[in-house]
Amino acid sequence: MSGGALDGLKVIDLSRVLGGPYCTQILGDHGADVIKIEPPQGDETRDWGPPFQDGLSAYFSGVNRNKRSLALDVGSEAGRAVLLRLLDGADVLIENFKSGTMEKWGLGYDAVLAKRFPRLIHCRITGFGGDGPMGGFPGYDAMVQAWTGLIAVNGPAAGDPVRLGVPVVDLGTGLNAAIGILMAVNERHRSGKGQFLEVTLYDAAIALLHPHAPNWFMSGKPPRRAGNAHPNIVPYDLYPTKTRLVLIGAGNDPQFRKLCEVLGRPDLGKDARFKTNQDRNANRAALDKELRALVAETEGEELAMRLMQAGVPAGAALEVPDVLEHPHAKHREMTIAKDGYRGTGMPVKLARTKPSLRRLPPQFGADGRAVLAEAGYAKAEIDSLIAAGTVAETRRTR
């Protein structure tokens, strides 16, 4: 088994909930040694269920594989001393405390960490950043979706805005954090120095406003909700068949003509009203009526496959269980299983340094003694830290 592309990278992970843990799971999947440092109360997502299995919630398990867990009271002076010892030799520190918390604890990057650990890369995830009109406010995915207009462009044309059903802001922030950390690691090869980076949910969400932001920059017209329809491309919408709904999109004129051929109406591809995307945009309602009638009595999944085989973008609207049991998901290794654990697979597939599932999501504090021993603590010292409550082996009630 490959050690992974990040084998040898040591990550101290102080983050909780989703954005940070998603970032460090990516790093861990590719070989990094991720030490998840939880507060004595534990990462709160351990309680976000049901469902639960072996005492772990599905929510926690979904973003915390390939990590070791140490429960440490970083809010105490003794806990911070342990953290500093763990940072000796670490490559990355990631945290999502409220802005100013690390500085309050005497662990600010510029004042302390950069001087003591000049090669350390410190990644901070916050909701809105540390300054500015909204600086310091905590960030939650749905609320940031609201503040950044993501819900404004999602939902039916005649209805209210709708929260995206996937926490895309948290996940996008985690991806940005992983990318930023790897950029800093790469730059360190040249400079020999670490650096500080801040990744915010707010910035991540605004960066996801494509194509609505560029449309507004160019036209000055505010985006409107259009359900499943696309603001720029026609046809591009969800169509009911006699079985499944099917998303059909024709991104260019040749694709539209192929769509018409597959549906048995090649004449529509030559109709002056629908000849170009601009024409189709101007005659959306007429084209939509034609297409809905043509697909109404077809079998959805079969139609979607026929369209794709003809080079026309299409997708049967599968339910999540259908997706996770689909032959192609299994072929792509996008579901993985080990010792009772099941999870989504690893989307970045390097050919030579493959990602792997090495560690199952950890029980609370399960690796504390081993992590401390690796940092040079003797057994008596570890026992003393546990007795003092600096290190926890069982969760403290909130």
Contact call for residues 277 and 233 (beta carbons, < 8 A): yes
DSSP 250: -
SS3 string of 155-190? CCCCCCCCCCCCCHHHHHHHHHHHHHHHHHHHHHHH
Contact call for residues 21 and 34 (beta carbons, < 8 A): no
Q: Which of 13, 29, 33, 170 is catalytic?
A: 170
Contact call for residues 156 and 225 (beta carbons, < 8 A): yes
Q: Where are the beta strands (DSSP E) in the chain?
A: 10-13, 33-38, 52-53, 56-57, 67-72, 92-95, 121-126, 196-200, 236-240, 245-249, 314-316, 335-338, 341-344, 391-392
Q: Where are the alpha helices (DSSP H) in 220-348?
A: 253-262, 277-282, 284-295, 300-309, 320-324, 327-331
Q: Is 170 a catalytic residue?
A: yes
Residues 269 and 256: their CA atoms lie apart, in Å, by 7
Q: How many CB atoms lie within 10 A of CB 214?
A: 11
The two tokens of residue 283 are: 């005659």
User: 41: buried, middle or exposed (CB in 10 Å: 19+, 13-18, 0-12)?
Assistant: middle
Q: At 53, give phi and psi (nearest 5°).
A: -145, 125
Residues 230 and 249: their CA atoms lie apart, in Å, by 9
Residues 37 and 47: their CA atoms lie apart, in Å, by 17
Question: Rounded to the nearest 5 degrees, what angle is found at the Cα of 277, between the Cα atoms of 272 and 281?
Answer: 85
Residues 124 and 102: their CA atoms lie apart, in Å, by 10
The two tokens of residue 28 are: 């861990």
CA–centroid distance for 349 within its chain: 17
> Any idea which residues carry the catalytic annotation?
170
